[in-house]
Homo-oligomer: A and B are copies of this chain.
């Protein structure tokens, strides 16, 4: 009896992705990257007159800002901190002996000032706060970042290192909620144009532990998070390829971002999981973009 080949193995066989031996950590082919670039250009064609600024972040953010974000309270299991060797010659000899003996040499590594970015918009907030009060119209930023989440998986749509493109709206409750509604609609329009099956649903973040269950149901009750789901690795458990989030004034308060009237800013973001969207396209339209539906090709390659 034939064992069906997993989507991940198909991606390896087609050399769209390359196995590294660690689940969720893959090299990307030039083709895969081209699909991502094309999707990003497509996404940026929506709402481009509304954007006040565009930024790209490196994969890490300042440790103090990471601490301020509250991520270790809510999602400690997913976070990655960057550690380094900080010793001298003698410590180094000890470290090498430890490695040679096959022992755990990483215990001596010390935390640096850098944490891996868990969500693409986190590095933005302290930058905005540092600039002082927001202008009257608030801020509307397009950004992109590599993110890290410590959740090794055989599902190619659940990578440990992946990119998010986001639009972030910072301003009043009214501005941010209107922004989120607009993008919920635009997200669906984008998926129509890409001819991908999809649905938008209320969702919750994967809060940690027992207390996290209460957080998750509170988030659902208040409809703070919606996800646009597309079947990627599984038809029964579709994958969140976009999310539409309203943070109320949580981040405004945490980082002291002030509206023009001096009150804490509200924030909302729409996030596109770039690897997930590329994988959805390969899954539904095949491994050869030259053979993708004419309409999809036109949207992406013009």
The interface of chain A, by Cβ under 8 A from chain B, is 18-22, 25-30, 32-33, 53-65, 67, 72-73, 76-89, 92, 95-96, 99, 104-106, 109-114, 116, 123-124, 126-127, 130, 142, 146, 148, 150, 152, 159-162, 208-211
Which residues on the B side are within 8 Å of A54 (C-beta)?
A: 29-30
A28 to B, closest residue via Cβ: B56
Bound together, the chains give a CA A56 to CA B28 distance in angstroms of 5
Interchain nearest-CB distance for A270 vs B (Å) = 18
Copies of the protein in its oligomer: 2
Known: A106-B110, A112-B150. 15 other contacts (CB 8 A): A28-B55, A58-B160, A59-B59, A60-B160, A72-B96, A72-B99, A80-B84, A82-B82, A82-B148, A88-B209, A89-B210, A92-B209, A104-B111, A109-B111, A114-B148
Which residues on the B side are within 8 Å of A126 (C-beta)?
A: 20-21
A-B contact pairs, 19 of them (CB 8 A): A18-B55, A20-B61, A22-B62, A27-B56, A27-B58, A29-B54, A29-B55, A58-B160, A59-B161, A73-B96, A76-B85, A81-B82, A83-B83, A83-B109, A83-B111, A84-B150, A89-B209, A89-B210, A106-B111
Which residues on the B side are within 8 Å of A95 (C-beta)?
A: 72, 76
Bound together, the chains give a CA A59 to CA B54 distance in angstroms of 22
Interchain nearest-CB distance for A205 vs B (Å) = 16
Q: Report the 10 A-B pairs with minimum CB-CB distance, sorted nearest first.
A: A30-B54, A106-B111, A58-B161, A76-B85, A59-B59, A84-B150, A22-B62, A89-B209, A80-B82, A28-B56
Contact of A99 among B67, B86, B127 (CB under 8 A): B67
